[in-house]
Amino acid sequence: MSRVELSPDKIEAEALWAFCLALYARSEVEAACLNLQDEYGFDVMIVLFCIYAGHKGQKLSAKTLEQAAEIGREWGRNIVGPLRLVRRRLKNNIPAAVDPHDAYQLRTRLQALEQDAERIQHEQLFKLIAGSAPPSQAAARANLVSYAGKLGVSPPEEFDLLLKAAFPRG
């Protein structure tokens, strides 16, 4: 068996993905992220990226946030979004002629594809930050507030919950 070498960038991108999965796994974080997505139009991948950047001590520039938003528009809306839409439809609207077990299996496969697509989006987002400094909740908050501003939304209260979960000692 051949050994696969991972570049430092790939290892760091994996760290971003692991960080986001661990944070999102908390039920209160998942609920807050889904509310940000469904009620305010936030891209959850970009929200988590903003927090991760703060963990790397990075306050994102307006240019970097615009690049992240562009990735969200191109990849998130065109690939992740349609997969999510079909998966959600199968959860709530199974046609009478379709075996519910078959619909469930398809929904499970779609969820895996959706996660794969989100992972690719995270890898694209990761390329936008470089370097590392001590974790900064203030930088993460500034990143989230800037992102909210780009969407024309006042910072929602969910930001506080997310920051508390991501920076439990901060």
Residues 138-150: tens digit of each pLDDT = 999 999 999 999 9
Answer whether 0.95 is exceeded by the pTM.
no
Q: Give the integer Cα–Cα distance in Å for 3 and 25.
A: 31
Tell me whether residue 4 is in a domain: no
User: What is the total count of domains within the chain?
Assistant: 1
Tell me whether residue 3 is in a domain: no
Tell me whether residue 96 is in a domain: yes
pLDDT in tens, 115-132: 899 888 888 888 888 777
Query: Half-sphere exposure of residue 118, counting CA atoms within 13 Å on the CB side?
Result: 22
Tell me whether residue 116 is in a domain: yes
pLDDT tier at 6 (50, 70, 90 boundaries)? Answer: low
Q: Give the integer Cα–Cα distance in Å for 37 and 49.
A: 14
Q: Which domain holds residue 63?
A: 9-166
Cβ proximity of 45 and 120 under 8 Å: no
Q: Give the integer Cα–Cα distance in Å for 113 and 133.
A: 33
Tell me whether residue 153 is in a domain: yes
Tell me whether residue 39 is in a domain: yes
Tell me whether residue 139 is in a domain: yes
Tell me whether residue 160 is in a domain: yes
- Quote the pLDDT of residue 95: 82
Higher pLDDT among residues 13 and 109, named by residue: 109
